[in-house]
A = this chain, B = another copy of it.
């Protein structure tokens, strides 16, 4: 007798109890309404090779740290222009933490004296906002970049392509979580006056004397040291400190103040998240190598602006597929609770898009103490992400999974076929402008962005085959 049963496991259990052999298959129905588009893409003659090329381009890209520059210089960002995380957004639709960060940045730039005067600037168009992702940059949380902020400059040595990210401020009351109190602005001014210039000197000295810091290589090591490079960046930060400290000290001989250098060492060493702002642009640099790969269904960006969650796909150019950003499920700081949390925000999901962050939770089990969940969940998450990705990353191995590569290259068709959504670790910003961080947790994209991207891929496929 053979029985084929679909759905819950009860019937299987009952048959097994009667000593009939049961072969269990982890099959899930595709997302509703995607069957036709999945069939179209299954028959697309470009796709297999396009996906293989796209994911290999990501794996093959390395990132080195070549400079630290003000955004005005690095990106040509003029006075009055600001960048933000996630897909395009208007002031009117912006959430509390996004508004808070823009208000603080307007004060930092000297456009207004008081944060309360900033909204009028954005409402009138006197100040403008556009995505980091449209400017070769990424930003954590609100991701606000102002012309005076210093940025890490990462380069792909093979092509000279560059990506950028601001310097990490630390945790708690910080601009990227929407806080803009005087202490937040004072820290940002110190970062502009002291931290940026001293890092620039050290980064350039290391680059010129021994070759630039190998950010991709540090990521390889971090993943063997309990970091997943999104919400844990401890080892990465310490390795950056190790790589820059001798050059920072040597700067004293060139005229830097020893007290300032000691402050910089203390600031970086005291901020376990400092390396996040190198991990993110390294991931963007790798994923951008696959942008515009015709026929590929691989995701090249996942990003949130606090209102919308958007993805971009290799085979659909720079189009965003968006849905409402979700509130993360996790652990809260102090007395904060779920009602205090803003929906998901930040470009930091670029780490998951590249195969680390939530996708590499198995290598950072201690992170469950920060974002919630259990150690078995963390191990299961990495295994589950292999179901929706194209490859195992050959540079990024998870020792406890016998050095298996991290799941890399989210495939829109696999997400639609299995209903398994990418798992993202994230910080949670307070809903109200000015609050700062309220917690950290786990979140997924709104499911509908994947069928939307799939539909567009199928439309392009049919057009290519003359069936559109």
> Does A266 have its Cβ within 8 Å of any Cβ on chain B?
yes
- Is the beta-carbon distance between B262 and A246 smaller than 8 angstroms? yes
Which chain B residue shows the least CB distance to A266? B246
Q: When the two chains form their complex, are residues B238 and A265 in contact, meaning their CB atoms are under 8 A apart?
A: no
Given the complex, which residues of B lie within 8 Å of A247, measured CB to CB? 262
Q: Which of A133-141, A317-325, A387-395, A398-406 contacts B (4 or more CB under 8 A)?
A: A398-406
Number of interface residues of A (CB under 8 A): 40
Given the complex of chains A and B, what is the CA–CA distance between A225 and B224 in angstroms? Answer: 8
Name A351-391 residues within 8 Å CB distance of B. Answer: 365-366, 368, 374-376, 379
Q: Are A366 and B224 in contact (CB under 8 A)?
A: yes
Determine the distance from Cα of A242 to Cα of B376 in the docked complex, in whole angstroms: 32
Q: Which of A39-47, A252-260, A306-314 contacts B (4 or more CB under 8 A)?
A: A252-260
A199 to chain B, nearest CB (A): 15
Contacts of A261 in B (CB 8 A): 249
Inter-subunit contact A399/B366 (CB<8 Å): yes
Answer whether residue A250 sits at the interface, using C-beta atoms and an 8 A cutoff: yes
Q: Beyond A225-B235, A399-B375, is A265–B252 a contact (Cβ under 8 Å)? A: no
Q: A224 and B226: CB pair below 8 A?
A: yes
Q: When the two chains form their complex, are residues A258 and B252 in contact, meaning their CB atoms are under 8 A apart?
A: yes
In the complex, whether A230 has a CB less than 8 A from a CB of chain B is no
User: For A235, what are the chain B residues with a Cβ–Cβ distance below 8 Å?
Assistant: 225-226, 234-235, 238
Which residue in B246, B262, B400 is a CB contact (below 8 Å) of A265? B246
Interface residues of A in 242-285 (CB under 8 A from B): 242-243, 245-250, 252-253, 258-259, 261-263, 265-266, 269
Which chain B residue shows the least CB distance to A256? B258
Task: State the majority secondary structure of interface residues on A.
Answer: helix
Chain B residues within 8 Å of A266, by CB: 246
Residue from B234, B379, B399, B400 in contact with A225 in the complex, judged by beta carbons closer than 8 Å: B234
Query: Chain B nearest CB: distance from A103 CB in Å?
Result: 33
Contact across chains for B245 and A399 when beta carbons are under 8 A apart: no
A185 within 8 A of B: no
Distance of A5 from chain B, by nearest CB (Å): 25
Quote the shortest CB–CB distance from A195 to chain B (angstroms).
Answer: 14
B-facing residues in A324-366 (Cβ within 8 Å): 365-366
Alpha-carbon distance A243/B268, docked complex (angstroms) = 11
Tell whether A241 is near chain B: CB-to-CB under 8 Å: yes
Question: Which of A235, A249, A261 neighbours the largest number of chain B CB atoms within 10 Å of its CB?
Answer: A249
The answer for the CA separation of A225 and B245 in the assembled complex, in Å, is: 21
Is the C-beta of A239 less than 8 angstroms from some C-beta in chain B? yes
In the bound complex, do residue A365 and residue B238 qualify as a contact, i.e. CB atoms below 8 Å apart? no
Taking CB atoms, residues of chain B closer than 8 Å to A239 are 238
Q: How far is the CA of A269 from the CA of B238 in the complex (A)?
A: 10
Pairwise interchain contact B249-A269, C-beta atoms closer than 8 A: no
Contact status A374-B402, CB under 8 Å: yes
Given contacts A241-B242, A375-B402, A400-B400, 8 further A-B contacts (CB under 8 A): A224-B366, A225-B226, A226-B399, A241-B245, A246-B269, A248-B249, A365-B399, A375-B400
User: What residues of chain A have their CB less than 8 Å away from a CB belonging to chain B?
Assistant: 221, 224-227, 234-235, 238-239, 241-243, 245-250, 252-253, 258-259, 261-263, 265-266, 269, 365-366, 368, 374-376, 379, 399-403
11 contacts between A and B (CB under 8 A): A224-B366, A226-B399, A243-B269, A245-B245, A246-B269, A247-B262, A248-B249, A249-B265, A253-B258, A365-B400, A374-B402
